[in-house]
């Protein structure tokens, strides 16, 4: 399949193949170190005075980019960790490249971030805590599960999670309650 890719399949086929090649065959345990890295970033965000969320972009088990929530420090309510990550990633990589990466995030992405991740071209998302578990703690949310949003997309996006949810929920409970 890799040979087919390098011979220049159409972008649509490329996304479909990437979906199968990058992340889809990994076992849950292989995602855990990266989810723990996201939780470390979430703790770092709190130390910065922001909300407890962090995200990573990974290729072949190598971390390419890291991002934290900067809602308070930037005074911008849209600066969620995943938005910060895909915004920076989009400057560096086109959608065909981004389809080769896995986006890890400490908590299942919200509706805004899920749309941004899709638009950037990412095809595999792995999250730590379910959005529903977070929203049981906090008010004022627009809750649409990321899988429901992505099911409406014209190409497939794989969503894996929850992974190590209880570790992440400890951070949320400390912060929000
Ligand atoms: Zn978000």
Q: Give the tens place of pLDDT for each residue, 92-135.
A: 999 999 999 999 999 999 999 999 999 999 999 999 999 999 99
Please tell me the distance between residue 87's alpha carbon and the centre of ligand 1 in angstroms. Answer: 13
Please tell me the distance between residue 116's alpha carbon and the centre of ligand 1 in angstroms. Answer: 9
Please tell me the distance between residue 109's alpha carbon and the centre of ligand 1 in angstroms. Answer: 5
- Counted residue by residue, the chain has a size of 177
Give me the catalytic one of 4, 32, 82, 165: 82
Q: Quote the mean pLDDT of the chain.
A: 88
Confirm if 33 and 170 have CB atoms less than 8 A apart. no
Question: Sorting pLDDT into bands at 50, 70 and 90, what band is 28?
Answer: confident
Question: Sorting pLDDT into bands at 50, 70 and 90, what band is 23?
Answer: low
Q: How far is CA 153 from CA 82, 115, 119, 123, 150, in A?
A: 18, 9, 10, 11, 5
Please tell me the distance between residue 114's alpha carbon and the centre of ligand 1 in angstroms. Answer: 7
Total Cβ atoms within 10 A of residue 90: 15
Q: Which of 17-31, 42-56, 140-154 has the lowest mean pLDDT?
A: 17-31
CA angle 95/26/14 to nearest 5° reads 30
Phi-psi label, residue 100: left if phi above 0, alpha if psi -120 to 50, beta otherwise: alpha
Active site residue 82: yes
Tokens standing for 19?
A: 């979906």
Confirm if 140 and 3 have CB atoms less than 8 A apart. no
Whether the predicted pLDDT of 49 surpasses 60: yes
* DSSP character string of 94-161: -HHHHTTSEEEEEE---HHHHHHHHHHT--EEEEEE-HHHHHTT-SS-----HHHHHTTSSS--EEE-
């Amino acid at each position: 399949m890799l040979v087919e890719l390098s011979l220049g399949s159409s972008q649509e086929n490329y996304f479909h193949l990437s979906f199968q090649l990058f992340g889809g065959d990994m076992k849950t345990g292989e995602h855990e170190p990266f989810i723990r890295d996201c939780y470390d970033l979430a703790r770092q965000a709190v130390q910065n005075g922001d909300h407890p969320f962090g995200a990573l972009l990974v290729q072949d088990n190598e971390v390419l980019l890291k991002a934290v929530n900067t809602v308070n420090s930037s005074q911008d309510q849209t600066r969620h960790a995943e938005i910060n990550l895909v915004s920076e990633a989009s400057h560096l990589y086109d959608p065909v490249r981004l389809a080769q990466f896995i986006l890890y995030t400490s908590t299942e992405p919200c509706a805004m971030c899920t749309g941004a991740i899709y638009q950037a071209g990412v095809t595999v998302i792995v999250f730590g805590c379910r959005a529903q578990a977070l929203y049981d703690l906090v008010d004022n949310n627009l809750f649409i599960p990321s899988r429901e949003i992505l099911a409406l997309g014209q190409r497939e996006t794989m969503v894996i999670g929850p992974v190590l949810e209880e570790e992440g929920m400890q951070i949320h409970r400390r912060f929000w309650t």
